[in-house]
Amino acid sequence: MNTAVFCLTPGGYQLAVRVKNKLEADGDRVRIYAPAKRFIAGGGVETFDSLAPAVETAFLACRRIVFIMALGIVVRMIAPHIRDKSADPAVVVMDETGQHVISALSGHQGGANALARRIAALTGARPVITTATDLHGLPAVDELARIYNLVMDPPAAARVINGALVDGKSVGFYASGSMLPKLLPSGVQFKPVADYPDWRNEADYNVVVTNRLLEESNDNTVFLRPRNLVAGVGCRAGMSESSILTALRSALEHGRLSMLSLRILATIECKADEPGLKGAAIRLGLPLATFSPAGINAFMERAGHQLARSHFVQEKVGAPAVCEPAALLASVRGELILPKQKFGGITVAVARDG
């Protein structure tokens, strides 16, 4: 993860080097930014003539920024660039003596609270955390989403749920499978997704961890979508981006699955440069994995007769199928939960990561 550390003075620089070395020892990528009039670039240090444009660049390029300077300076520097808690980087502020480390922006979703605690543990500083849920020892749903790579649905619900927890309102948590014990802190009662909605014990709000579109849901419910679905896609040449996106949405709706749970799209190598398929992946913000005909054929041999085969597809692309084997090959110990669906020149299959 890219981390920028800004400093202004020699004392701040010494602390920046300590922070950089500690974080890099844990595998982070860290670059120090310092004023050109006092420091020389090189050796992991980048210099700037003016702080404001350097901060603007880092705000867009880095997921985490550590400022070793007065909090007031930081507020003025980052204020023009703050957009949304789902997009803003984590911002942490330290005094140059290393006594305090303040979580200043994007504490939960960006991870500034966790970063402040981590730097405090590495340097001996005192972490300063001001988010209400943390102060009350309560689970913040947006931090759960960040830690476990879940997508909040709807995105703006975190403030409502976190506020309800702080106000002492009842919040029901629902999850399933292996996520149950690690998702929720001790003292929070959880129930299986199959029990939602629980009409016998109606809560003020509900949090449901699932990739499925439930038949019943209440207006007081926020969903946390795990990114554990892989969509295999086959298509004729020239299919448009919009038609592929429509096919994906239709397939997932048919399987009662959330588009927000997609982790990756997959196809055969000869379709890697299809503009419509590439555009659909970009629009969804997903990588596009490709597999060779030889790799698909070898997989199909191991799969036996469980997957659909087509002589026509074999003649066209050199493998008897695309969407189903591509979905399974791109998943981790995957399970095919939606077999091939046809949409006028486009096929879609969905696998769930194990």
Residue 300 is part of a domain; what is its CATH number? Answer: 3.30.420.180
Residue that finishes a domain, picked among 99, 130, 161: 130
For residue 222, name the pLDDT band (cuts at 50, 70, 90): confident
Backbone torsion region of residue 103, taken as left when φ is above 0, otherwise alpha when ψ lies between -120 and 50, otherwise beta: beta
Which residues span the domain enclosing 73?
2-130
pLDDT (mean) for 255-280: 94
Residues 20 and 113 reside in one and the same domain: yes
pLDDT band (50, 70, 90) for residue 138: low
Query: Of 130, 150, 167, which residue constitutes the final position of a domain?
Result: 130
Which range is least confidently modeled, 42-46, 158-162, 192-196, 317-321? 158-162
Where residue 210 sits, what CATH number does that domain have?
Answer: 3.40.1390
- Whether 264 is in a domain gets the answer yes
State pTM to two decimals.
0.66
Please report whether residue 199 resides in a domain. Answer: yes
pLDDT band at 32 (very low <50, low <70, confident <90, very high): very high
Can you give the pLDDT at residue 120?
87
Q: Are strands 190-192 and 150-153 parallel, antiparallel or unpaired?
A: unpaired
pLDDT at 136 over 70: no
Whether 122 has a pLDDT exceeding 60, the answer reads yes
Which CATH number do you get for residue 57? 3.40.50.11220
Same domain, 176 and 190: yes
Mean pLDDT of 32-37: 90
The string of pLDDT tens digits covering residues 273-315 is 999 999 999 999 999 999 999 999 898 888 766 788 888 888 8
pLDDT of residue 188: 61
Same domain, 113 and 201: no
Whether residues 169 and 97 fall in one domain: no
Give the residue from 109, 130, 151 where a domain finishes.
130
For residues 183 and 124, membership in a common domain is answered with: no
Residue 235 shares a structural domain with residue 327: yes
Split at pLDDT 50, 70, 90, the class of 235 is very high
Assigned domain for 64 exists:
yes
Determine the pLDDT at residue 87. 79
Q: Based on the domain organization, do 39 and 64 belong to the same domain?
A: yes
pLDDT above 90 coverage of the chain, percent? 40
Mean residue pLDDT of the chain comes to 85
Q: Which strand ranges, in their side-by-side order, compose the sheet holding 335-342? A: 288-291, 262-268, 229-235, 346-352, 335-342
pLDDT digits (tens, 9 = 90+) for 77-117: 999 998 877 778 889 999 998 899 998 887 767 778 888 88
Question: 9 and 125 in one domain?
Answer: yes
Residue 135 resides in a domain: no
* Residues 264, 221 share a domain: no
Residues 252, 147 within the same domain: no
pLDDT at position 185 over 60:
no
**Which range in 180-189, 195-204, 270-279, 325-334 is most confidently predicted, on average pLDDT?**
270-279
Residue 93 in any domain: the answer is yes
- For the chain, the domain total comes to 3
**Residue 103: inside a domain, yes or no?**
yes
**Which whole number is the average pLDDT over 214-226?**
81
Residues 210 and 258 in one domain: no
> Is 187's pLDDT higher than 60?
no
158: pLDDT strictly greater than 80: no
Are 213 and 272 found together in one domain? no
- The answer to whether position 336 is within a domain reads yes
In a domain, 136, yes or no: no
pLDDT for 248 beyond 90: yes
